[in-house]
Amino acid sequence: EVQLVESGGGLVKPGGSLKLSCVLSGFTFSDVWMGWVRQAPGMGLEWVGRIKRKIDGGTTDYGAAVKGRFTISRDDSKNTLYLQMNSLKTEDTGMYYCTTDSGGRTVITALDSWGQGTLVTVSS
């Protein structure tokens, strides 16, 4: 069974930084594309970005709202995905979900497994 467990959320001041982690089990981490989706309180889902597996180049893509401030990385030796968040704004507040992305495994990609989320609050 695939399991994703996020950690690292918390309270941070505007302009600050935070690094989220996500550990994958039940699947070979190096075989999967990974990503992040966030959800502001009471709102819908927003795609943050993704990272491909190394055999597909290991490249990253981001949503416009976070591009240049957030960085997605992976450590295949630790089965861990990261989200480094810099220059945080109050509008970055929300639940951050780690996901697997079926890219590289299916032609039409989807976010096929989700973690339980970690809450990030940006407030002074």
Partner 1 sequence: DIQMTQSPSSLSASVGDRVTITCRASQSISIYLNWYQQKPGKAPKLLIQAASNLQSGVPSRFSGSGSGTDFTLTISSLQPEDFATYYCQQSYTLPRTFGLGTKLEIK
Binding interface with partner 1 (CB under 8 A): 37, 44-47, 61-64, 97, 102, 106-117
* Residue 106: Cβ-neighbour burial (10 angstroms; 0-12, 13-18, 19+): exposed
Q: Which is nearer to partner 1, 8 or 117 (CB)?
A: 117
* Residue 47: Cβ-neighbour burial (10 angstroms; 0-12, 13-18, 19+): middle
Q: Could you tell me the smallest distance in angstroms from the CB atom of residue 17 to partner 1?
A: 23
Q: Which is nearer to partner 1, 29 or 97 (CB)?
A: 97
Q: Please, what is the end-to-end C-alpha distance for the chain in angstroms?
A: 40
Q: Could you tell me the smallest distance in angstroms from the CB atom of residue 34 to partner 1?
A: 13
Distance CA 95, CA 78 (A): 23
Contact yes or no for 98/81 (Cβ under 8 A): yes
Q: Which is nearer to partner 1, 15 or 104 (CB)?
A: 104
Q: Could you tell me the smallest distance in angstroms from the CB atom of residue 85 to partner 1?
A: 17
Q: Which is nearer to partner 1, 29 or 62 (CB)?
A: 62
| DSSP assigned state of 106 | B
Q: Could you tell me the smallest distance in angstroms from the CB atom of residue 77 to partner 1?
A: 26
